[in-house]
Structure 1
Amino acid sequence: MTLQELKLHFFTELNEQYPATEIESFFFWLTQSELNISRLEMALNPQKKVDIQHVENFKKAILKLKNFEPIQYIVGDTEFYGGVFQVNPSVLIPRPETEELVAWMVEDLNNKKEIFRILDIGTGSGCISISLAKALPKAKISAIDISAEALQTAKENAKNNEVNVEFFQQDILETEKLDTTFEVIVSNPPYVRELEKKMMQENVLKYEPELALFVSDENPLIFYKKIAELAFEALEEKGVLYLEINEYLAQETQELLKEIGFLYIEIKNDIFEKPRMIKASL
């Protein structure tokens, strides 16, 4: 089978479930991962032969895509803030808005002259902590997560991205006090309410870890309250707390931070003008 024939087969199999632009994205993602062929090479050499094993792997990927498995889990990695991160069903797939959170932090913190400490709560794949470690050479970074499987993935990602992050397994909701102090604390905790499930895509609902996504409708800010209380006690003078937030609960999150005692609070919109990040300091 040629590349052109493989592409036609790929599109034919998936065109009832996905728009053409998404299928094309999937195809080029797989050709890069499976065949190490760029878009340019694909365009220049569409008659290039694909061996039978690779064809079979594409067919397996098609079956997974028909069952709405995320393409990132199929290929096993994704890009985030200029780095490549392994992903699997034990960790969330990093989102563009989380990149924006990292960019905001780097902009704020990259002029620090002395060593400072950052804690990432609920690190998952390690995308936040590892990206900060790469961008902020003066930062000493620790990261915690409740999931042993997620931490194993994060450790592999730190190794692959050639940075040093200390990882610890810890249930933040059961934590009474953080063991040390920090200049910066960051978290992208679970914040999707059960009532919002109907707005989510099937690939997220079926494959991404519920533990890292959902909270109850009755107490949707449970993680924010706990993290903010711990941060209020553990942050150094002029310390800063950064959070990714639910766009529908921005004002409620701001009020919660005020009640806990944070004095300076800033909500930041993402590129789609949705309130998705918040910064609070003492």
Structure 2
Amino acid sequence: MSTVKELLKDITAKLDQYIPRASREAQLFLMHHLGVDELWLLTNQDTIVENTDELYKMVERRSKNEPYEYITNKVSFYSEEFHIEEGALIPRPETELLIDEVIKHYPDLDADIRFVEVGVGSGIISIMLALHYKNAKFIAVDISEDALRVAKKNIERFNLSDRIELRLGSLLEPVYEHIDYLVSNPPYIQDGIELESNLDYEPQNALFGGKVGDEIIKKLLDEVLKRDIKFFSCEMGYDQKGKISEYLKQTEFKTLDFYKDYADFDRGFTLIL
């Protein structure tokens, strides 16, 4: 048995050589294990904690660089909490900007329209858009059955099964309906690029986009033009703005609006035909 204070000190020491924010993650693990908030943790430093076996199992997993989110099966996105597990990409804060971009370019939140998301992953994009667009319907596609399983859990958690339909398939192959708005956070990292070791736990087919990296984005652009999809918002790599602009050079469209992420890197675009 140990006190909260002693546990925080011990977990921090165990994680310190492996991760950069050891003291903060020690707090997060203990809050998760005890089911308490930060205020409770700070004001109960001398409280005795029993049954710490599961807590230390989580710490051991984290010491091997397994992502915190996969260990706790929780991830925060756009101020909401979602279920996450291996098989689905862990949502990044910059992807919240993709939601903002859609709302910016289609401000009619009461519109009765059909969104399609390619690469649904954990479902966070379609779910957040469905919470904003109360009358919209969604078709969410992924090539991974594991990702669709995670997305299904989140969709059910938010009671959105009647508005978000999941389909297994590549890109837009399983979607035959008219599409009003296409949205995607596709794989866009160049094959062979060495990534941080914690990314080894994440699905590689959700990270790498081909020999150049932008191949999937270009395939989606081809579909947008071929199927006359009026709105397309997409996340991209920081170095792909020029390539995408060049790819659309001979195309007629109304606007091509790029946006930056929190670190001021180019991060995505909205194409309006």
TM band (smaller chain): over 0.9
After superposing the two structures, state which structure 1 stretch, 102-111 or 122-131, moved more: 102-111
Aligned to 2:271: 280
Shift of 1:25: 2.7
Distance 2:245 2:159 in 1: 36
1:159 aligns with 2:156: yes
Whether the 8 Å CA contact 1:118–1:184 is kept in 2: the answer is: yes
Shift of 1:183: 1.4
Distance 1:112 1:8 in 2: 48
Whether the 8 Å CA contact 1:194–1:216 is kept in 2: the answer is: yes
Q: Normalised by the size of structure 1, how large is the TM-score?
A: 0.90
The letter for the 1-side match of 2:227 is: A
Shift of 1:31: 2.4
The letter for the 2-side match of 1:49 is: I
Whether the 8 Å CA contact 1:184–1:235 is kept in 2: the answer is: no
Whether the 8 Å CA contact 2:253–2:271 is kept in 1: the answer is: yes
Whether the 8 Å CA contact 1:228–1:260 is kept in 2: the answer is: no
Aligned to 2:170: 171
1:9 aligns with 2:10: yes
Shift of 1:216: 3.1
Aligned to 1:231: 224
The letter for the 2-side match of 1:91 is: A
Compared CA separation, residues 18 and 73, structure 1 to 2 (3 A):
same
Distance 1:61 1:112 in 2: 41
1:145 aligns with 2:142: yes
1:56 aligns with 2:56: no
Shift of 1:260: 5.2
Compared CA separation, residues 277 and 91, structure 1 to 2 (3 A):
same
Compared CA separation, residues 224 and 262, structure 1 to 2 (3 A):
farther
Aligned to 2:188: 191
After superposing the two structures, state which structure 1 stretch, 255-264 or 29-38, moved more: 255-264
* Secondary structure class of the residue paired with 2:138: strand
Which ranges in structure 1 are unaligned for 5 or more consecutive residues?
none
* Secondary structure class of the residue paired with 1:247: coil
Which ranges in structure 2 are unaligned for 5 or more consecutive residues?
none
* Secondary structure class of the residue paired with 2:240: helix
Shift of 1:261: 4.6
Shift of 1:72: 0.2
- Counterparts of 1:77-92 in structure 2, within 5 Å, are 77-92=74-89
Whether the 8 Å CA contact 1:31–1:38 is kept in 2: the answer is: no
1:99 aligns with 2:96: yes
Shift of 1:229: 1.3
* Secondary structure class of the residue paired with 2:75: strand
Shift of 1:108: 2.9
CA RMSD, Structure 1 to Structure 2 (Å): 1.8
Whether the 8 Å CA contact 1:181–1:235 is kept in 2: the answer is: no
1:252 aligns with 2:251: no
* Secondary structure class of the residue paired with 1:85: strand
Whether the 8 Å CA contact 1:172–1:227 is kept in 2: the answer is: yes
Compared CA separation, residues 49 and 167, structure 1 to 2 (3 A):
same
Structure (1 or 2) with the greater helix fraction: 1
The letter for the 2-side match of 1:202 is: S
Distance 2:136 2:6 in 1: 50
- Matched residues, number: 270
Distance 1:248 1:241 in 2: 19
The letter for the 1-side match of 2:9 is: L
Compared CA separation, residues 104 and 215, structure 1 to 2 (3 A):
closer
Whether the 8 Å CA contact 1:191–1:215 is kept in 2: the answer is: yes
Distance 1:136 1:111 in 2: 8
Aligned to 1:69: 66
Give the % identical residues: 27
Shift of 1:264: 1.8
Compared CA separation, residues 260 and 212, structure 1 to 2 (3 A):
farther
Aligned to 2:113: 116
Whether the 8 Å CA contact 1:229–1:260 is kept in 2: the answer is: no
Compared CA separation, residues 57 and 223, structure 1 to 2 (3 A):
same
After superposition, give the CA deviation of every residue in 1:123-158 in whole Å (9 maximum; x if it has no partner): 110111111001111221110000111111101101
Compared CA separation, residues 277 and 110, structure 1 to 2 (3 A):
same
1:209 aligns with 2:203: yes
